[in-house]
Amino acid sequence: MSRPKVYADFQNLDDTNRLRLTCAGTIDDPASQCIELQEGMVLAFYTDDANEQGEYDELRAEGMVHYDERESSWVASVDWSAVRHAWDDGKMARVAPKQSDPGPSSANDPTSHGSEPPSPAANFWR
């Protein structure tokens, strides 16, 4: 069985280099898959990226989920040396993202993904 695939902003890290699971896309993906985050759960994370030719090619990494009491939020410990492009996994066709997917709404907002406001699924994580 494959691990659930969840969007995450790979640049949204805490002080100990863990991936913060706080952006809208990261909250919406597990909720839409009926996944309830649990301590020690391992998930497959991805983020938007491009290859050397400028073609869409998401970055992927696995991470172990933890609840950070100090920040009152979920984080994931990731082996950053194992980050790879989807094309390297041989599991993704080289196609551009759907035109209906607006992508990040602001290049300066590392916690946004898409143009929708945060969903009620945010309560799902607490």
What does the pLDDT look like over 2-28, one tens digit per residue?
788 999 999 999 999 999 999 998 999
Residue-wise pLDDT for 38-84, tens only, equals 999 999 999 999 988 898 999 999 999 999 999 999 999 999 999 99
Q: What is the dihedral of CA 73, 77, 82, 87, to 10 degrees?
A: -30
CB 44 within 8 A of CB 2: yes
Residues linked to residue 44 through DSSP beta bridges, in sequence order: 5, 62
For β-strands 84-85 and 59-68, DSSP reports them as antiparallel
Amino acid at 100: S
Say if pTM beats, i.e. exceeds, 0.85: no
Instruction: Report the amino acid identity of residue 69.
Output: E
Question: Residue 6 in contact with residue 69, Cβ under 8 Å?
Answer: no
Query: How far, in whole angstroms, is CA 76 from its chain's centroid?
Result: 10
